[in-house]
Structure 1
Amino acid sequence: MTSSAAGGTAPALTFRAASFGYGGRPAIQGVDGAVMRGEVLALVGPNGAGKSTLLKGIVGEAARLSGDVDLHGLRVRDLAYLPQQPEIDRSFPITAIEFAATGLWRRLGAFGRYRPEHRAEVADALARVGLAALEGSLIGALSGGQMQRLLFARTLLQDAPLILLDEPFTGIDAATEADLLGIVGLWREQGRTVVAALHDLAQVRAAFPRALLVAGRVIAWGDTAAVLTAGNLARANGRELAPPADPAADAALAALGAT
């Protein structure tokens, strides 16, 4: 299935019959479609549907088994990728401000000089995510919500036109979620392209105008209301998805549970 164009005038990311996986085995396959510049897209689907693999495939951390991915002039190093927290080694003795500063590497390079103005920029990013008082704390001492705020601070500093987020709101409190959703809204206002793997369908309906529903392949892709229908959720095995917000979808999921 191919996506339709969103509000953007040109694609930021295009898949052409792309398949990704590990050890030669596909986790998601036959992806065709384009994410437009400035689009904020929710990537949803059951557990094991290939959401994380799709994001990892874009940045080269999962093997592309067939097809093509076109970044339209960008390099992988130009992207911002926020992985799931368990993939971060928090035992490494690095402070919050040092961790956030790694977001500047794309601009400074491996041997770039870290100047006072850069430190001020990092401190500002930490303040924007509510971590100004914890800049000297080791990352291993941060709570899950604080660590997620720190990951967003690093992503802010990457200043990337295309941002990939893998389950960015999992395991955090409501206040942290609201603050981080505000940053996603800021990126949208700035015209950045955001693709976020998510599981909370109510959140997707409220904050993400476009959605891509997958279950090892593309089930539906387009405006969120048209994608998250009872029929599409049933086709994606909706029993593993967060409960949908509309009665028709609830009834479809209940029928699935009865079979």
Structure 2
Amino acid sequence: MKRSRKVVSVPISAIKVLNSRNRNRARLKELVRSIGTLGLKRPITLSKRGGAYDLACGEGRVEAFTALKQADIPAILTEASVEDCILMSLIENIARRRHRPIELVSEIGRLAKQYTAADIAAQLDLSPDHVRGITYLLKHGEESLVSAVERGIVPPTLAVEIAKAKTPKLQGVLLEAYVNERHTSHQIAKMRKLVEQRHRGAMKAQYADEQINSAALVRAYKQETSRQQLVSRKADLAQGRLTFIVNALKKLLSERMFASLLRQESLDKLPLPVLRRISLAGES
């Protein structure tokens, strides 16, 4: 898309509005009054198409000039497709006002039918993850979670993790857990996986009959996290001990008297895994 910064005067009658919207009449009157008094502060944006012009940005300004009985309007010309002009028009409308979440969700859903998440994110100054989250929820028909996002209860990325839960019951519990303690998306994902793993495992019958609630879920998550941390610490300790033993054995084997003693006791043939460990220790 190429845009010239040169301002030209274009006949209003030659302008085609591609994405017309209903406008607040009070705001239009205010715009007419402002332009009539101070003049046009920002030219509209057009893309020339044959002998006419497609409007990309500035429908309100065109309406104001028409109300002021003006035949021409200052414009900046850009080389853009019809689709890009429509997108620019939508983006301008979004950027002009502070959107409530419900409005932003609606706009993203409409744009997602034609544009990628990266394109929408760049134009709306949002993160691609935010846009992908909204489109995922809309695509999978998660009306309740979309409503939660619209009301600002949960961010879209976290709502996606909740939407991946296999039952509405678990979705509700995860949502409650977030609202009560503000867990991260990563933590919510781990809680969901924890429940699903237990349902698939040997304790399936117990958990299938269990009345799961947010407090029990958070408690189980914390217990599992503590268990994993303990396992990690034990693994680190074992690794440290193994490294010490391998290095000590390597040093002892380098002593001729010790090697001779091993041969006398018929202990000079070490297991292959031990030899590999010693070899790797030597390389490091």
Q: What is the TM-score of this pair, normalised by structure 2?
A: 0.28
Q: What is the TM-score of this pair, normalised by structure 1?
A: 0.30
**Comparing both chains, which one has the higher relative contact order based on Cα–Cα distances under 8 Å and sequence gaps of 6 or more?**
1
Q: Larger helix proportion, structure 1 or 2?
A: 2
